[in-house]
Structure 1
């Protein structure tokens, strides 16, 4: 792997033309990016701004910790459930509560179902349109499209008539002038490379994935009562196992519902392996040059907390199905251990964030975290406080804090997990990466890129679908052996708790490392801090000038036309940014919002 210089503000050139993309994301419209391009349209400086403030930490103060999951789950409706899981783990850690094996299995299944759902939705509905020219599909030959699709997999929806009918419906849609979900795109941009037939096939699969994703979330509805925002429980899961029950009015987890889960899991595997991965490889084969674009911190600093404990109440690295560790400076030969309790490891800085610390030259561990809003765009911004034209990155410029691991800016997410798993030599991660690199005929270095980031998410979707099946089989076996327990309520009452306790809960959300830190005093929440994946990846600079993963990934990218910033969207969308998680709560008219806790 090529040695790179760690991206730092001192290495950047803020001269040249300033290009603003606001908003960036297709669902969450709170991310703003500003870049400076030189005379050759190459990005030499990047500024990532979270433009909304999350007030969840303040909202939780003084509340019952058993209710925290319900509040934090509303941080985001995209990665539904993962914040709640992290929260109940934090409370259980603080109070010393152990959960039954079935509860651990069901939690893993809900998290894995989220992975499959989230990765499919991301690829087809949030990211694919950066590579697929929808309008070009109108000129495709349906017969040739059918031959292409059938050459890639055995997916049954691939006849010439199927594609001809879809093309006709697409033409009516485009001719209406109301493109709906396809509106925000640069159709006809010269950076699109797919032939019309590949575009038509991808549009068909976009629609199929849109239909199938609603089936996947039924797993959450079965185990958690609903989706989005399924129910969770400190001490286990809220749904009892009721094998004697039948019918729609029966409560709990019944045999017929377990059979529904089994069917959905098999369909997840089929869709991933016969549609998602073939599409991923087919599209990537036309964009191999993106194996050298958008790397940023991916080739240097990556972090994963690990997740999916194989054994209940065992969060050691040996028990976690997803790898834990940190890689620094691109040294794949050394994987550092990660301790979420160590105040010297994870710290958040606010020197360039719209918050105040007593000493803004120092970072705070989340247990000591402070969330005090201080919106001040600094002396060098252009425009007005209500309508910024350009931010001043030498001052405060984001509602995201700057988390660092031992002082290093880190990339988190599927690519980070796969890099760490690959470096560990874990065959579950190494072998699929090696096969994909061979199939695409690209070197290992191509994984540290926008292409690699997108590919890792697809590989992880397949991994998650098979793990989902394995845990479903484990649940059935445990129930058959006579164990139907799903909750431990021994420490449910506050009088059984110690007066002053702290806890930390973690997961690997689909977008990356997610941690919640809680401090409970006299039965109430004294402090609560969540450090989420998009805060890691989208962070502003820290006091040492180190830039975050979004900013680093855009450097040295050549743009065809800065007025049509498709290249920026391709790289930033590869992270699957979710600004709702990292920033929240603002009034409709753009006014600063104060949260009063009573």
Structure 2
């Protein structure tokens, strides 16, 4: 007989996500993904000046601290057909890349690693053997027996105190935990180091963005950074070189530690490689543009269908009609008024709550579709789209990572192993290394352009009478993000944000097609229904950020945590 399990909220993520599953025969047979807050930002923006929108939409989330601002200014610029100066493009690219470095590190270590790492088991580890294990993965200076011994002592003190701090809420001793004690101790040590390296990325982002979270250096038409090298209040060479130093330090951590840890977990949990694929239609945005028109980018975008890399079709520009004309959102299973599927330009956002209905409406998230199909978005999608197009940086980064994983696992596996839970972690680790390289490349491009005497940062926007429509697309850390704006006589007439976690976490549509979260959980093993660790593994592999999908709800009287097995 099937058991019903409700996990509310899914923990160690940003936002409020409820997941319901049915388990039969030790496997998930059905799943529902439900956003539990209403996002009303679209209605707040109506009637406002389009130049102000980016400041409002950044507050959709405190984790995605740059992405909504970038997508918003691009949407207005697309509506006005307004190019931006090259300096502005390159500074924006650095903002994007640095944010990704911080975000990807936090995702793996803070939000996901504890699904695979049994921290308490690390107390049984031998620090000398741990160092020997770590040395087989990389020559990271922190991989010493002395450090591992110190971390073990620190962990012992936490356990003895009964207050595990950041390690408190996890399923220690769960039968699905398979790492040997030495691997667990290594991971705990790297977890603690990751806190410092994500801080370095945050520091770099605060310098270039003026503030973090929620950067202050954007504007419609360019950026607000002062690039005059004779003005000490601006982004001087001294500050630029400090940013470069921080990026280089973070890059080394990503390539020597983060990627090695993901490869090790993938190899040691290789029985998990087949699980969690779900929707194998993929979509990514082109980004990191090197020209003012947004036609030449260092990150590839496009679509893949049915896990077949030969079906890849690229998005070629920042304003690609193939993307714009094929996106719709369905509210058939969401708590909104109506039963439509529309292009975002034609949408409204009118809430109409009922209750949680298995066969009816059960989420505040809409269900985005591309050509009528659900799409998985995120770092894995971008890696696969780039790999399929023969994108040089992507192919090299992916092959290098797969070589490392195969070396640890003793296998000879190719990109076909990436469709699943482990593959999403691999895709994110691969992309983190790419973004570190691109951050430094675009630093060089910016400095070289400044050396020519070009300090231009802004093109003045002009709002004509009548209606203009624009879409701002951006490859955020969690996948393709798009903001859709209709401007009427210089004011916002309609505004919609179609965000990565809505693509992935959205509910079924009017055709009954499940979203990527829901599809990915079906077939997953469940060892102990009362401790559904395996559900967390697969959902966390997407890096959910639910405030980006839903926002603004009076929480009075709502339960904070509910985990039950029926």
- TM-score under structure 1 length normalisation: 0.89
User: Within 5 A, what are the aligned runs for 1:382-461?
Assistant: 391-439=356-404, 440=406, 441=411, 442-461=413-432
Deviation at 1:512, TM superposition (A): 0.5
1:337/1:159 CA distance change after superposition, 3 Å: closer
Whether the 8 Å contact between 1:42 and 1:558 is mirrored in structure 2 is yes
Deviations for 1:560-588, whole angstroms, at most 9, x for unmatched residues?
Answer: 11111111011110000000100011113
CA distance in 1, matches of 2:310, 2:149: 52
Using the TM superposition, name which of 26-35 and 114-123 deviates more. Answer: 26-35
CA distance in 2, matches of 1:342, 1:261: 34
Deviation at 1:151, TM superposition (A): 2.8
Using the TM superposition, name which of 541-550 and 234-243 deviates more. Answer: 234-243
CA distance in 2, matches of 1:155, 1:395: 52
CA distance in 2, matches of 1:212, 1:337: 34
Deviation at 1:273, TM superposition (A): 1.3
1:487 matched to 2:454? The reply is no
Match of 2:148 in 1: 163
Deviation at 1:199, TM superposition (A): 0.8
User: Within 5 A, what are the aligned runs for 1:167-246?
Assistant: 167-231=152-216, 232-245=218-231
Deviation at 1:222, TM superposition (A): 1.8
1:342/1:172 CA distance change after superposition, 3 Å: closer
Deviation at 1:443, TM superposition (A): 4.6
1:368 matched to 2:346? The reply is yes
1:400/1:429 CA distance change after superposition, 3 Å: same
Whether the 8 Å contact between 1:352 and 1:393 is mirrored in structure 2 is no
1:195/1:413 CA distance change after superposition, 3 Å: same
1:334 matched to 2:318? The reply is no
CA distance in 1, matches of 2:446, 2:402: 35
1:134 matched to 2:119? The reply is yes
- Correspondent of 1:312 among 292, 306, 312: 292
1:345 matched to 2:326? The reply is yes
1:177/1:340 CA distance change after superposition, 3 Å: farther
Whether the 8 Å contact between 1:294 and 1:449 is mirrored in structure 2 is yes
What SS does the corresponding residue of 2:341 show, helix, strand or coil? coil
Deviation at 1:499, TM superposition (A): 2.9
Q: How many residues align?
A: 547
Whether the 8 Å contact between 2:14 and 2:63 is mirrored in structure 1 is no
- Correspondent of 2:20 among 29, 34, 50: 34
Match of 1:468 in 2: 439
Match of 2:562 in 1: none
1:516 matched to 2:487? The reply is no
Deviations for 1:92-138, whole angstroms, at most 9, x for unmatched residues?
Answer: 11122221000000000000111111111101111111111111111
CA distance in 2, matches of 1:258, 1:521: 40
Deviations for 1:214-266, whole angstroms, at most 9, x for unmatched residues?
Answer: 11122222222110001111111111113124xxxx42211110111110121
CA distance in 1, matches of 2:94, 2:121: 39
1:342/1:449 CA distance change after superposition, 3 Å: closer
Whether the 8 Å contact between 1:305 and 1:324 is mirrored in structure 2 is yes
CA distance in 1, matches of 2:291, 2:22: 49
Match of 2:564 in 1: none
1:571 matched to 2:538? The reply is yes
Deviations for 1:499-539, whole angstroms, at most 9, x for unmatched residues?
Answer: 32111101011101100000111221111000000000011
1:537 matched to 2:514? The reply is no
1:80 matched to 2:65? The reply is yes
Deviations for 1:150-209, whole angstroms, at most 9, x for unmatched residues?
Answer: 332221122222111111111111221122211110011111111111111111111111
Structure with higher strand content: 2
Unaligned runs of 5+ in 1: 1-14, 378-390, 592-598
What SS does the corresponding residue of 2:485 show, helix, strand or coil? strand
Whether the 8 Å contact between 1:240 and 1:485 is mirrored in structure 2 is no
Match of 1:594 in 2: none
CA distance in 2, matches of 1:115, 1:100: 23
Whether the 8 Å contact between 2:13 and 2:540 is mirrored in structure 1 is no
1:333/1:159 CA distance change after superposition, 3 Å: closer
Deviation at 1:148, TM superposition (A): 1.9
CA distance in 2, matches of 1:216, 1:41: 42
Match of 2:105 in 1: 120
